[in-house]
């Protein structure tokens, strides 16, 4: 009886210790519906729901902080955050700096331009690449979109922005010719700017540009082996039981769950 009571006590203490963990999570909340700030100043969106569910399943508290995208990984590396979730693609370059969880989502990407632009309505990727020669393409600083433009549109000029809405506004103002973002982000930006912007070219994935990476994951500091295992187990379970699909349909209206290749 004493042994059983002691075992139960230890189990309770261990569970309480796990629940007492406070994990600092960084995000860049300018990426609706992945993450954004609501009228109450709270970070909301698909990634917020994903990280909340992950923390629930690993029995840890989460404190989410918002900052510019290009500073997220440096902040993670110096210990400001324990995890980063921000629609972040898993790329070889990033994986050399930080550890990533299993991929949980895989979004399509798209170019957009000002409505009525000569770049609008192009269907084939090679034709669009030719049309973009000598043009200015807006991308978010430090994103895979920037890497794509630099690697494959060498005759175009990338213009870097901290926030995605700045890209949309400069497109509408004629200060840039095109922008490259995730398809779901354009949907949100276009809804808020009815009739101002137009998608162009095909839906894009890592099959078109390897720089888009291998799905979207949660970043952690190198050496966070225990945390990574706990997060990986949670994500695997969420993919298996349909939770990621449920959250994806809630925020996007379709399923972005990562499918292993």
pLDDT in tens, 8-53: 333 343 333 344 468 999 999 988 899 999 999 999 999 999 999 9
Closest C-alpha among 115, 152, 146 to residue 132: 152
| Peptide bond between residue 33 and the one before it cis (omega within 30 degrees of 0) | yes
Give CA–CA dist 247/192, Å, rounded. 22
Determine how many CB atoms are found less than 10 A away from the CB of residue 249. 14
* Phi and psi, residue 237, nearest 5°: -65, -40
pLDDT at 6: 39
Give CA–CA dist 230/227, Å, rounded. 5
Q: Please report, for residues 27, 84, 192, the alpha-carbon distance to residue 56 in angstroms, rounded to integers and kept in the order given.
A: 18, 16, 33
CATH 3.40.190.10 residue ranges of the chain are 11-106+215-252, 109-212
Give CA–CA dist 7/179, Å, rounded. 59
User: Pairing relation of β-strands 157-161 and 136-140?
Assistant: parallel
For domain 11-106+215-252, the question of CATH label 3.40.50.300 is answered with no
Cα Rg of the chain, angstroms: 20
pLDDT in tens, 97-137: 999 999 999 989 999 999 999 999 999 999 999 999 999 99
Q: Which position has the token pair 């449920």?
A: 246
- Cα dihedral value 64, 67, 70, 72, nearest 10: -30
Mean pLDDT to the nearest integer, 183-191 = 90
Q: Please, which pLDDT band fits residue 60 given cuts at 50, 70 and 90?
A: very high
Q: Which position has the token pair 């969880």?
A: 101
The DSSP call for residue 60 is: -
The residues, ordered by sequence, that sit 6+ positions from 108 with a Cβ below 8 Å of its Cβ are 182, 183, 203, 204, 205
Residue 221 pLDDT > 60, yes or no? yes
Residue 200 · residue 112 · CB < 8 Å: yes
pLDDT at 254: 87
Residue 68 pLDDT > 50, yes or no? yes
Q: What percent of the chain has pLDDT over 70?
A: 92
The residues, ordered by sequence, that sit 6+ positions from 9 with a Cβ below 8 Å of its Cβ are none
In CATH, what class is 109-212?
Answer: alpha beta
pLDDT at 173: 95
Residue 226 pLDDT > 60, yes or no? yes
Within 13 Å and on the Cβ side, how many CA atoms surround 203? 7
Q: Please, which pLDDT band fits residue 77 given cuts at 50, 70 and 90?
A: very high
């Amino acid at each position: 009886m004493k042994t059983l009571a002691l075992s139960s006590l230890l189990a309770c203490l261990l569970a309480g210790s796990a629940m007492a963990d406070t994990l600092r999570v960084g995000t860049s909340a300018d990426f609706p519906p992945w993450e954004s700030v609501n009228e109450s100043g709270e970070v909301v969106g698909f990634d917020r729901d994903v990280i909340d569910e992950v923390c629930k399943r690993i029995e840890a508290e989460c404190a989410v902080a918002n900052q510019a995208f290009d500073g997220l990984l440096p902040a993670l590396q110096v210990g400001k955050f324990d995890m980063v979730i921000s629609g972040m693609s898993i790329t070889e370059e990033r994986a050399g700096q930080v550890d990533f969880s299993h991929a949980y989502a895989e979004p399509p990407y798209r170019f957009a331009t000002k409505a009525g632009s000569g770049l609008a309505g192009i269907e084939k990727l090679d034709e669009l690449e030719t049309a973009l020669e000598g043009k200015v393409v807006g991308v978010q600083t430090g994103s895979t979109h920037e890497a794509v433009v630099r690697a494959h549109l060498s005759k175009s000029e990338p213009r870097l922005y901290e926030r995605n809405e700045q890209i949309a506004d400069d497109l509408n103002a004629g200060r840039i010719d095109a922008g490259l973002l995730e398809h779901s982000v354009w949907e949100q930006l276009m809804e808020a700017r009815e009739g101002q912007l137009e998608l162009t070219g095909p839906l894009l994935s890592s099959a078109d540009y390897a720089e888009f990476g291998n799905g979207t994951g949660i970043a952690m500091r190198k050496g966070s082996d225990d945390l990574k295992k706990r997060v990986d187990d949670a994500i695997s379970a969420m993919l298996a039981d349909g939770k990621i699909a449920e959250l994806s349909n809630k925020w996007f209206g379709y399923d972005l769950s990562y499918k292993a290749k």
